[in-house]
Structure 1
Amino acid sequence: MSKQAGPLNPKTTSYEFSGIPGVLAITFGLPLVCVVLNQMVRVDYHVTGLFSNFDIAELWNHIKPLKWYLTNRELWTYYLTWFGGLALFDVTLPGRNVDGVELRDGTKLRYKINGIALTTTLIAILGIRWQLTKGAMPELQYLYDNQTDLCIITIIFSFLMSFFLYALSFVPLMKKNGKGTKERVLSVSGNSGNIIYDWFIGRELNPRLGPLDLKLFCELRPGLLLWFLINVACLHHHYVQTGELNNAILFVTLAQGFYVFDGVLNEEGCLTMMDITTDGFGYMLAFGDLALVPFTYTLQARYLSVSPITFSRPYLAFLISIMALGYYIFHSSNKQKSDFRQGKLTHLKSIDTKRGTKLLCDGWWGMSQHMNYFGDWLISLSWCLATGFQTPLTYYYSLYFATLLIHRQQRDEHLCKIKYGDDWKKYESAVPYKIVPYVY
C-alpha cells in the first residue's frame, strides 16, 4: 500500500526546458551537434582552423542517407553486441544486492552492485584480444574508423529505446505473488499527459526488463564504458601508426579512464542521485547516456589522435594537479555529505527543517551548495587543457559540463524550495554560493 496521502502518480503541472518548443529543439538539435562535432575531428578536416575553415556542407557530405544506417547490419551488429553483451554481464556477473531509496508506494527496488566484476571482465577481454591479435585489435580499429557512423546508429537506438520505454510505462506490473497487477511508479516530472513531453522526460521512474534496471544500466554501462573504449581506440590507433605512446593522449585516456571506472566502481552512490530517484527514463536520459556521453566526451582523445602534441613535464604536473584537486573536492565533499546523512559528523553545523531532516551548512557544504559540482568541473577542465590552445573545439566538454551542472543546480534548487519552504531560505542565507565559492 502506498504511504502517500494523495495519488501514487500525481499529474505533472509544470514543464521544464520552456515546454514543447524547448523539448523539440533539444530532441533534434543535440543529435545534430553530436554528429557535427564528430565530423569536425576527422583526419581530413582542418580542426585548427575551426572558424575560418568551417563548412557545414563539406562536413555533411560524409553523412549517408538515413535508410543506409537503418539497414546496415554490420554497424547494428557491432553496437547491439556491445549493448547486449554488457546487459548480459550486468545480470549474470556476481555482485552484492542492495536496496534503493524508498519509492512512493513504500517499496524499495533491489540492485545488483557488480561494477568490480564487470570492469575486471572487460579489461580481461581487452587483454586477451591484444594477445590473440598480436596488438592489431581489429575491434578497436573498427571503432576508430567508424565513429561518426556508430554515433548515428546510437542516436537512432536512443530514439527507438525511448519509444519502447514510453509504451512500456502503460503496461501494468505483475504483483510479486503472481496474482493481479499493480500501477507502475511514474516520474513526478514526466506524467503530464502530453505524449511528446512525457516521451522526452521519461514517464516511468524505474523501468525494468526482468532483473535488468534499464535506467541504472544505461547510466553506468554502455555509454560510460564506450567513452573509455573510444579513448583506448584513439590511443591504439596512434600507437599503431607511429609506434609511440604520446603522453598527451596517454594522459587523457588514463585520466578519463580513472574517472569512468571510479563512477562504475562506486555505482551504489548513484542510487541516491537525482537521475535515479527523481527523473523518469525517456529520451532525455537515453540519448544523454548512450550517445552524447561517448561521442562528445571523447573529443580530446580524438583530436589528439589527429593532431598530437607533447607535454613538458611541468605542464603534465600542472594538469595532474588540477585533476587531483578537482577529484579531492568532488570525492571528499560527497563523502562528507554521505557521512552526515548516516548520522556521523554531528559536530558540523546544520539547519533543522520542519520535515524533521537537517540541511548541512558546514565543511565543504558551507562553502557552496554544490561543492561537488565545482570539483567535478575542475576535473573536466584538466582534460580540455590537455589539448593545448589550437582550437576551441576540444573545450566543448568543459563548457557543456558547466551548463549541465548549472541546470542541475537550478532544478535541485526549485525542488528544494518546494520541499523545504522557509527553511530553504535560511539555508540560502547561510550558504549563498551555488557552485563556485565567492563567484556563483
Structure 2
Amino acid sequence: MAKSNAPLNPRTTSFEFSGIPGALGITFGLPLVCVVLNQMIRPDYHITGFFSNFDVAELWNHIKPLKWYMTNRELWTYYLCWFGSLAILDVVLPGPVMEGVELRDGTKLRYKINGIALCSLLSSVLAVRWKLTGGQLPELQYLYEHQTDFCIIVVIFSFIMSVFLYMASFFPLTGENGTGTKERILSVSGNTGNVIYDWFIGRELNPRVGPLDLKMFCELRPGLLLWCLINISCLHHYYLETGKINNAILFVTLAQGFYVFDGVLNEEGVLTMMDITTDGFGYMLTFGDLALVPFTYTLQARYLTVSPITLTKGYLAFLTGIMALGYYIFHSANKQKSDFRHGKLPHLESMDTKRGTKLLCDGWWGMSQHMNYFGDWLISLSWCLATGFQTPLTYYYSLYFATLLFHRQQRDEHLCKIKYGDDWKRYEEKVPYKIIPYVY
C-alpha cells in the first residue's frame, strides 16, 4: 500500500537528453561509435595518428549485412549461453540476502548477494579449461577474433531486450496470494507517455523475472564480466603469438580485472546507487551495461595487443600509484558515506534538513559533493596512461567516463534541489565544489 495520497507513479513532466532528439541520437549514435572503435583496432588498420587516416568507408567494408548477424546461430548461441548461464547462476548460487532502499509503496526488494560464489566458480572454470586445453583456450581465441561481431550481436540483443522491458511494464504484477494484482512501480523519469522516450530512458524501475532483478543483474554480471574476459583474451592472444607476457597488457588486464571483481564482490554498494534507486531500466541502461561497457572499456587491452609497448619499472610504479590513490579515495569516500548513514561517525560535521535527514559536509564529503567520482576517474586515467601517447583513441574511456560522471553529478544535483529545497542551497555554501576540490 502507498504511504501517502500521492499517486504511486506520477507522470513525468521533464525530459533529459534534450528529449526525443537526444534519445534517438544516443540510440543510433552510440552503437555506431561502439562498432567504429572496435573496427579501428585491427592489425591491418593504421591507428597511430588516426584522425588524419580515419576512413569510415574502409572500416565499414569489414561489417557484414545486418541479416547475417540476425541469423547467425553460432554467435547468438554463444552469447545467449553466456547471458543465460550467468542469470541461472545469479539465482541458484548461495549468498546472503539484503534489502534494497524503500520504494514508493513502502516495500523493499530483496537481493541475493552472491558475487563471491560467482567469481570463485568462474575463476575455477577458467583454470580447468586452461589445464584441459594445455593453455590454448580456443573459446578465448574465438572471442578475440570475433569481438566486433559480438559487439553488433549484443547491440541487437539490447534493443530487443529493451522492447520486452517496455512492453512488460504495462502488465500488472501478480499479487502475493497469487490471485490479485498490483501496480508496477515506474521510474520517475520514464513515465512521460511518449513511447520512444520511455522505451529509451526506462519505464519500469525494477523489472524482475521471478527472483532475478534484471537491472541489477545486467549492471553487475554479463557486461562487466565480459569486459574482464575480453581483456584476458587479448593477453592470451598476445602470449600465443609471441610466447611472452607484455607488461602493459598485463597491467591493464590485472588493474581492470581488480576493478571489475571489486565491483562484483561488493555488489551491495550498488543497492543505493542512482542506477538502481532512481533510473528506469530501458534501452539507455541496457545498452550501456551490456554493450558499451565490454566493447569500449576494453580498448586499452585491445590496442596494446596490436601495438604493444613495454613499460619501464618507474612508469609502471607511477601508474600503480595513480590507481591506488584513486581506489583509496573512491572506496574510503563511499565507506565514510555508508558509515555515516548507519550512525557510525557522529563526530563528523553534518547539516540538518527539513526532511528530518542529515547531509554530511565533513571528511571526504567536505572536500567535494562527489569525491568518490574523482577517485573513480583517477582509476580510469591510470589505465589510459598505460597505452602511452601514440594515439588519443585509447583515452576514449577516461574522456567518456568524465562526461558520464559530470552528467550524473548534474542529474543528482537537480534531484537534490527538488528534494531538499533551500536546505540544498545552504549545503552548497558549505561544500561548494562538485567533484574536484578547488577546481570544480
- TM-score category, normalised to shorter length: over 0.9
Aligned equivalents of 1:400 and 1:4: distance in 2?
40
- Residues 1:207 and 2:207 aligned together: yes
- Residues 1:15 and 2:15 aligned together: yes
- Residues 1:351 and 2:338 aligned together: no
Aligned equivalents of 2:51 and 2:371: distance in 1?
35
Q: SS of 1:47's equivalent? A: coil
Displacement, 1:403?
0.1
Aligned pairs for 1:125-164 within 5 A: 125-164=125-164
| Number of the residue aligned with 1:196 | 196
Shifted more, 214-223 versus 343-352: the winner is 343-352
TM-score norm. by structure 1 comes to: 1.00
Displacement, 1:4?
2.8
Superposed CA deviations along residues 213-233 of structure 1, whole A, max 9, x for unmatched, are 000000000000000000000
Aligned equivalents of 2:157 and 2:366: distance in 1?
43
| Number of the residue aligned with 1:75 | 75
Aligned equivalents of 1:201 and 1:293: distance in 2?
18
| Number of the residue aligned with 1:284 | 284
Displacement, 1:180?
1.0
| Number of the residue aligned with 1:100 | 100
Superposed CA deviations along residues 124-183 of structure 1, whole A, max 9, x for unmatched, are 110011011111101100000000000000000000000000011011100111121000
Aligned equivalents of 1:164 and 1:420: distance in 2?
36
- Residues 1:29 and 2:29 aligned together: yes
- Residues 1:328 and 2:328 aligned together: yes
Aligned equivalents of 1:4 and 1:413: distance in 2?
25
| Number of the residue aligned with 1:114 | 114
Displacement, 1:71?
0.1
Q: SS of 1:52's equivalent? A: helix
Aligned equivalents of 1:15 and 1:55: distance in 2?
35
Aligned pairs for 1:29-428 within 5 A: 29-428=29-428
Aligned equivalents of 2:301 and 2:148: distance in 1?
15
Superposed CA deviations along residues 223-278 of structure 1, whole A, max 9, x for unmatched, are 00000000000000000000111000000000000000000000001000000000
Displacement, 1:324?
0.2
> Partner amino acid for 2:236?
H
Unaligned runs of 5+ residues in structure 1 are none
TM-score norm. by structure 2 comes to: 1.00
> Partner amino acid for 1:366?
G
Would you identify which runs of 4 or more consecutive aligned residues in structure 1 move more than 6 Å? none
Aligned equivalents of 1:284 and 1:200: distance in 2?
6
> Partner amino acid for 1:166?
Y
Superposed CA deviations along residues 17-48 of structure 1, whole A, max 9, x for unmatched, are 00100110000000000000000111111111
Over aligned residues, Cα RMSD in angstroms?
Answer: 0.5
> Partner amino acid for 2:286?
A
Aligned equivalents of 1:89 and 1:338: distance in 2?
28
Aligned equivalents of 2:136 and 2:212: distance in 1?
34
Aligned equivalents of 1:192 and 1:303: distance in 2?
42
Superposed CA deviations along residues 365-384 of structure 1, whole A, max 9, x for unmatched, are 00000000000000000000
Displacement, 1:120?
0.4
> Partner amino acid for 1:361?
C
Aligned equivalents of 2:105 and 2:157: distance in 1?
32
Q: SS of 1:101's equivalent? A: strand
Superposed CA deviations along residues 72-129 of structure 1, whole A, max 9, x for unmatched, are 0011011111101101110111111111111111111110000000000110110011
> Partner amino acid for 2:343?
G
> Partner amino acid for 1:138?
P
Aligned equivalents of 1:227 and 1:37: distance in 2?
15
- The count of aligned residue pairs is 440
> Partner amino acid for 2:69?
Y
Displacement, 1:190?
0.2
Q: SS of 1:110's equivalent? A: strand
Aligned equivalents of 1:110 and 1:337: distance in 2?
22
Displacement, 1:51?
1.3
> Partner amino acid for 1:243?
G
> Partner amino acid for 1:164?
F
Aligned equivalents of 1:113 and 1:300: distance in 2?
30
Aligned equivalents of 2:428 and 2:98: distance in 1?
34
Aligned equivalents of 2:5 and 2:243: distance in 1?
67
Aligned equivalents of 1:94 and 1:42: distance in 2?
41
Superposed CA deviations along residues 310-331 of structure 1, whole A, max 9, x for unmatched, are 0110000000000000000000
Superposed CA deviations along residues 336-372 of structure 1, whole A, max 9, x for unmatched, are 0000000111111111000000010000000000000
Q: SS of 2:110's equivalent? A: strand
Aligned equivalents of 2:93 and 2:5: distance in 1?
40
